[in-house]
Amino acid sequence: MADSTFTPADVPPDLFSEQQWCSGELCQEHNLKLFLTRRASNNQPMLNFSLPKAQLDSINLVKQGSKSGYTLTNGDFYRASFKNSHCFKLNLSGSSLMKADFSGANLHCANLNGCNLLGTIFDGAKLEHVQWGDKVLQEYQGESAKSVEQKIDFYQQAEEIYRNLRLISEQQGLFEIAGTFFQREMTMRRKQMPRWSIRRGLSKIVDLFCGYGELPIRVVMFTWAVILFFAILFFFSGLQYAGNSVGLDLNQSLTNNVEAFINCGYFSIVTFTTLGYGDITPVGAISRILASAEALFGSFTLALFVVVFVKKMTR
């Protein structure tokens, strides 16, 4: 239909109607890259375009001199080839990119929020500052699915997508986003387990404690929560310092009770870290049991923090 010597400027922006772009009849059109480039330069939103299996290798869809890119949203690009394409800041949100090939493409700052990324190829693509969205499409679908079988199927797809994105990100040295993808990957794996199984419960605990090793700040927050919790328990159960009772005493002034609570906090810290200076000691069976339990929590938590911290720092 078009001569191979055409340039984008030679192609009128309204050569094809919106219905033709959205019907799928243009996906094998000769010089489709020229037609799409010219259509994009018309600065009109390109919505619901259907171009499955389209050959768009090396296409230039960069909006020159603009802070925002072209809009190509909610389209169907199943198995489309975007090899070595220029898609800087291109908005593809909501599109089906299932098994599309973006090998070697420039996707800096592109918007892929809500896209179907199952089987999408990103080998060698530039992916810095891509907008991936909080969750992939299949995770949202899994959350809204009615049957258990559907949920598991969607979560399996989501796990595969997150794994692929994690591996690609690691290859490119994007370790921060790779860590996020790993956390989501493990979350999807957990949601495929039986709801009340021990494995799922343990997986949830690991997520809460450290985000599957990606969130050391959670370990720090858990540490202070445990220390404060046991300090309160010691404040009521009672401790002993130099032969004097340390704890809540309604016959004492507010200042004395605050000082006693601070001492309980101090004892909780040295017990959690297993320092055990011996200046303050537990009194009675309850206080001794609490001190033993906190020491066990402390040993586990400190070891966990070292593992998580080293994992983050050695990437």
Token couple for 221: 């927050």
DSSP 37-52: HHHHHTT--EES-B-T
Task: Tell which residue, 268, 265, 269, 273, has the closest CA to residue 305.
Answer: 273
Give residue 13's pLDDT band: very low, low, confident or very high (50, 70, 90). low
Tokens 């909501």 -> residue: 94
**Tokens encoding 261:** 């609570």
Cβ atoms of 13 and 41 within 8 Å: the answer is: yes
Per-residue pLDDT for 216 more than 70? yes
Looking at residue 178, its pLDDT comes to: 93
pLDDT at res. 215: 87
- The conformation of residue 17, written as its DSSP 8-state character, comes to -
Least confident of 46-55, 73-82, 280-289: 280-289
b (16+ CB within 10 A) / e for 245-269: ebbbeeeeeeeebeebbebbbbbbb
Which of 38-42, 191-195, 204-208, 276-280 shows the lowest mean pLDDT across its residues? 276-280
What's the mean per-residue pLDDT of the chain?
A: 90
Q: How far apart are CA 315 and CA 310, in angstroms?
A: 9
Whether the per-residue pLDDT at 298 is higher than 50: the answer is yes
Residues 6+ apart with CB under 8 A from 149: none
Of all residues in the chain, what percent carry a pLDDT higher than 90?
65
Beta bridge partners of 96: 76, 116
At residue 140, the pLDDT reads: 96
- 45 confidence band (pLDDT: 50, 70, 90): confident
Query: And the tokens for 152?
Result: 């598991």
Helix residue ranges per DSSP H, the chain: 18-23, 32-41, 137-144, 148-171, 175-191, 198-210, 216-237, 254-272, 284-313
pLDDT at 7: 60
**Once rounded to an integer, what is the mean pLDDT over residues 153-176?**
95
pLDDT digits (tens, 9 = 90+) for 233-273: 999 998 988 778 888 888 888 898 999 999 999 999 999 99
For residue 170, pLDDT over 80 is answered with yes
Give the model's pLDDT for residue 1.
43
For the chain, what percent of residues have pLDDT higher than 70? 95
Tokens representing residue 274 in the block: 């297993």
Q: What is the pLDDT of residue 94?
A: 96
How many other β-carbons are positioned within 10 Å of the β-carbon of residue 306? 12
| Token digits of residue 235 | 């404040």
Amino acid in position 58? S
